[in-house]
Amino acid sequence: MDYSPVLQPLFTALWYLIPLMILAGVVKSPWFKGKVGELLVNTSARLFLDKQRYHLIKNVTLPTEDGTTQIDHIIVSRYGVFVVETKNMKGWIFGKPNQRYWTQKIFKYSQKFQNPLHQNYKHVKTLQSLLGLSDQQVHSLVVFVGDSTFKTEMPGNVTQGGGYLRFIKSHSEELLSEAEVQKVIGTIESGRLAATFRNHRKHVAHVKEVVAKKNSEPRCPKCLGEMVKRTAKREGGIGKEFYGCKAFPKCRGMVGASNEAVK
């Protein structure tokens, strides 16, 4: 039986659902959420920071020894250079400055994500190397946007929403002259990679390679931190190799050996 006379009107009536489904997928993607978060920070910085004193440079990709690193926002001022990492997340956020991974919890669902302070550390050091500035002249700043709540005490440079503006304005000691500010801006603009599709694709490929490498390496079963290969020294396992937590002795997580065989 030919069903085309029946199905054709149905397809005609529902064809518009296809682009809507594609759009819904894009809106829910991490890429889109990240772009929205960056847009919110860009907009608020332009509206509430004096353009004569604070200079916003966004989406900066810099070359590194092992590839590239991408910085969401750099705000240059006489009060220092602020390196801003944006996180668009919802739910409860748990984390401490020295922890490798923080936790996002939404009702019964929870997931680990890289400590954004650690993530921003590479950005800061790369920028310091390019600009020749000291630790006191470069400030690391993390901004959470979206419907999230901190459930553990956070350091002053981890903020929510417009709190990052207060953090920036709280720095009133002049660390750079106006001539140095202009030099910093020029160095960043000349040192950054061009915002081309080719460079973006290379950066994405580098990030995927780094993530794949990390995922292939064993993680500590206790703290999810990095592990190193060690050799057992106790009777019953002398000479056997295993992976122990890099944070030992603070964390005694291990993979591939019994407690009795490890010293």
pLDDT of residue 217: 64
pLDDT of residue 41: 80
Residue 185 CB contacts under 8 Å (≥ 6 apart), including other chains: 55, 57, 76
What span, in angstroms and rounded, lies between the C-alpha atoms of 25 and 28?
Answer: 5
pLDDT of residue 26: 44
What span, in angstroms and rounded, lies between the C-alpha atoms of 191 and 187?
Answer: 6
Question: Which amino acid type is present at position 62?
Answer: L
Q: Which ranges of the chain have pLDDT less than 50?
A: 1, 24, 26-27, 34, 200, 203, 206-208, 210-211, 259-263
Burial class from Cβ neighbours inside 10 Å (0-12, 13-18, 19+) for residue 186 reads exposed
Contact 103, 95 (CB under 8 A): yes
pLDDT of residue 4: 56
Rounded to 5 degrees, what are φ and ψ at 86?
-105, 135
Q: Tell whether the torsion through CA atoms of 200, 204, 210 and 214 is positive or negative.
A: positive
What span, in angstroms and rounded, lies between the C-alpha atoms of 2 and 111?
Answer: 50
- pTM for this predicted structure: 0.69
Domain spans of the chain? 24-192, 227-261
